[in-house]
Chain A
Amino acid sequence: MSAVQATSATLERPPLRVKRKRWTAYILPVFTITTIVYLASPIFVMIMFSFNVLQGQRQIAEFTCCTLNWWTELFAIPSLNEALRTSILVAVPSAIVATALGTLIGLVLGRYQFRGRGPTNFVIFLAIAIPEIVLASSLLSMFVLAKTPIGFGSILFSHIGFSIAFVAITVRARVQGLDRSLENAAQDLFATPLQAFMKVTLPLILPGIVAGFLLSFVLSLDDFVITNFVGGSVNTFPTWVFGASRIGVPPQVNVWGTILFLVGITFAALNLVGSFRASRRSAAAAETAGAALRGATGA
């Protein structure tokens, strides 16, 4: 997500020599589009099969068009409903707590030089790069040794843990991209540190915090490996689907997958629009600060 913000405007220049496009010029664009279609292909299949006509209750590889049956019988499987409920009940508090804690870490890493900064960065890097199964078995080892009952609580605890690092780097990227002169202006205008933070810094890094929140929400919702290890008999949506895949997934899984996909895409689009607005707002804030500065100095 930070990379979207990092995208820099390229300098557009007229080409020196105008050449006729040869067919080779189309290789890479066609390849790119093909790859993107390939990446999305299981999503097409998922949406398509949510309308599949079936004799039984399990998805088969053959597609027959079309029925709304599975959409109307969305809640027909109690254990699936329970798993979805658990997913949401974990993802919301996990994202809130991870965002709060991760934002603080990101803020410190993005702006302070302190002893231990390198190691902290390295721990954050490790927390992201470590194979999930290693973290999962480590967490389970801890719960077994501590004789903690595993289930909802251990899932929530673990989800917060692995989300923090992702929020921290998202916020850190945003903090590092800040224009410090705005804060200096606030200080010059006798804002208290708290005021300067609440009125200048926080609005500016807000898109990073929102991105971190959405990222940790999605990570929690989508997590399989860690939940599989520390969940015990409690299922979330992904672990339920994995369990069902051994005997065949019911088509309701495709319906729920489609619904979550549409909701996710909508939120991402809203966040993109939001961050465009925020960058416009920060431009406005800069102008306001500049005007205030000019007014204060009587220029």
Chain B
Amino acid sequence: MPQDPGKDLAAVTIAVTGVPGDEPPKRADQALARRRQRVAYGILTPGGIYLAIAFIVPLILVVYTSLQSGGLLSGGYTFTWAFDNYADAWSSSSQFFARSLLYSGLATLLSILIAYPMAYWIAFYAGRWKSTLFFLILVPFFVSFVIRTVQWNFILADDGLLFGPLKSLGLLPDDFQVLATPIAVVAGITYNFLPFTALPLFVALDRIDKRLVEAAKDLYASKSQAFRKVVLPLSFPGLFAALILTFVPATGDYVNSSVLGSNRTTMIGQIIQTKFLRQADYPEAAALSVMLMVGMLIIALAYARVLGTEDAALAAGAA
């Protein structure tokens, strides 16, 4: 701390540059703490206002829209507490919700089964290649995901890069088809969200103190025992983060089912998009969005409750 450059200066200095947590200021009084708070709010304000207008207000207004009634032809929509929208939306679209949850659940499971062994090996055994391999997982992000999904179209096509040669070799029957089936959609979702699954898993596994595994082995644990009793439990936060960060966005996805699927693989995102952008049926589309939001919010809250918001955002930050 400064010797005594005036109490004000000390307060502002501490307020702006912070105080180390393990070394509380000796003259920390209430006024100082309050001033510190005020500085914090001051710095927070511009970004906070923007986030409020671009994130919180829209979330409120989508709920407002979902309770409107009327029609575009009969003079527009007005707010009437029209809870019927929810019943209508549910009865017309519950099957698409169910299908979205099924596809997204399958894709999440597949992603974790693929990503966990990979993240484990990179975190524990990759040695000096660790950073490089980690970077390679991020490489897909350098190409727009719409373009990558379109390319899968050509890889999975009936006579495409993958099945064309196999068919001409006679290894697959000629009518073998993956594109435009649920398999293609689930595969596409798995592909697109795999990095989001891998990153929190990698971060969690990499944080584990490797000496704990050695200690377990010193205590005569076998390799698999050490994994099951030490590594796996310690990686649970990352596993949970991976689950949320894959499942929640995957449920609302509509690019994969549009590009790789058919009209029998329609997911809830496509319904919302069509109602909003093509049919201009704002209230029902908004009602569907709110239902999706509430479902996902419950999952997110459960998550924050288990891990705390900071860890949650940290894990999200890895992605």
Contact B276 A140 (CB under 8 A): yes
Closest to B163 in A: A61
Interface size class of A (residues with CB under 8 A): 35 or more
CA distance A141 to B276 in the complex (A): 9
CA distance A186 to B151 in the complex (A): 54
- The reply on A70 being an interface residue by CB < 8 A is no
Contact B61 A130 (CB under 8 A): no
Contact A260 B142 (CB under 8 A): yes
Contact A124 B17 (CB under 8 A): no
- The reply on A74 being an interface residue by CB < 8 A is no
- The reply on A297 being an interface residue by CB < 8 A is no
Chain A residues lying within 8 Å of B115, measured Cβ to Cβ, are 35
- The reply on A284 being an interface residue by CB < 8 A is no
Contact A138 B289 (CB under 8 A): yes
Mark contacts of A95-107 with chain B using CB atoms, 8 A cut-off: 1 yes-contact digit, 0 otherwise: 0000001101101
- The reply on A158 being an interface residue by CB < 8 A is yes
Contact A28 B121 (CB under 8 A): yes
Closest to B46 in A: A101
Smallest CB separation, B192 vs chain A (Å): 10
Mark contacts of A6-33 with chain B using CB atoms, 8 A cut-off: 1 yes-contact digit, 0 otherwise: 1110111100000000000000110110
Contact B155 A41 (CB under 8 A): yes
Chain B residues lying within 8 Å of A28, measured Cβ to Cβ, are 117-118, 120-121, 125
Contact B139 A265 (CB under 8 A): yes
Taking CB atoms and an 8 Å cut-off, the chain B residues in 23-78 that contact chain A are 36-37, 39-41, 43-44, 46-48, 50-51, 53-59, 61-62, 64-65
Chain B residues lying within 8 Å of A140, measured Cβ to Cβ, are 276
Contact B313 A125 (CB under 8 A): yes
CA distance A288 to B137 in the complex (A): 38
CA distance A192 to B155 in the complex (A): 61
Chain B residues lying within 8 Å of A2, measured Cβ to Cβ, are 314, 317-318
- The reply on A216 being an interface residue by CB < 8 A is no
Chain A residues lying within 8 Å of B120, measured Cβ to Cβ, are 28
Q: Return the contact of A43 from the options B15, B17, B143 (Cβ within 8 A).
A: B143
CB-CB under 8 A for A108 and B159, given A6-B206, A139-B54 = no
Mark contacts of A192-223 with chain B using CB atoms, 8 A cut-off: 1 yes-contact digit, 0 otherwise: 11101100010000000000000000100110
Chain B residues lying within 8 Å of A257, measured Cβ to Cβ, are 143-144, 147
Chain A residues lying within 8 Å of B261, measured Cβ to Cβ, are none
Chain A residues lying within 8 Å of B144, measured Cβ to Cβ, are 221-222, 224, 237-238, 241, 257, 260
Q: Return the contact of A145 from the options B2, B64, B143 (Cβ within 8 A).
A: B64
Contact B118 A32 (CB under 8 A): yes
Tally A-B pairs: CB < 8 A: 340
Contact A137 B289 (CB under 8 A): yes
- The reply on B1 being an interface residue by CB < 8 A is yes
- The reply on A153 being an interface residue by CB < 8 A is no
Chain B residues lying within 8 Å of A127, measured Cβ to Cβ, are 51, 55
Smallest CB separation, B142 vs chain A (Å): 4
Smallest CB separation, A113 vs chain B (Å): 8
CB-CB under 8 A for A112 and B36, given A229-B277, A241-B147 = yes
Interface-centre pick from B17, B47, B259 (highest chain A CB count, 10 A): B47
24 contacts between A and B (CB under 8 A): A3-B203, A32-B122, A36-B136, A39-B194, A42-B155, A105-B48, A121-B310, A128-B317, A131-B292, A137-B285, A138-B59, A144-B65, A168-B47, A169-B316, A169-B317, A187-B2, A188-B2, A197-B16, A218-B142, A222-B141, A224-B146, A241-B146, A242-B259, A260-B143
Chain B interface residues (CB < 8 Å from chain A) = 1-2, 5, 9, 12-13, 15-20, 36-37, 39-41, 43-44, 46-48, 50-51, 53-59, 61-62, 64-65, 114-115, 117-118, 120-122, 125-127, 130-131, 133-155, 157, 159-161, 164, 191, 194-195, 199, 202-203, 206-207, 210-211, 214, 244-245, 248-249, 251-255, 258-259, 269, 272-273, 276-277, 282, 285-286, 289, 292-293, 296-297, 300, 304, 309-310, 312-314, 316-319
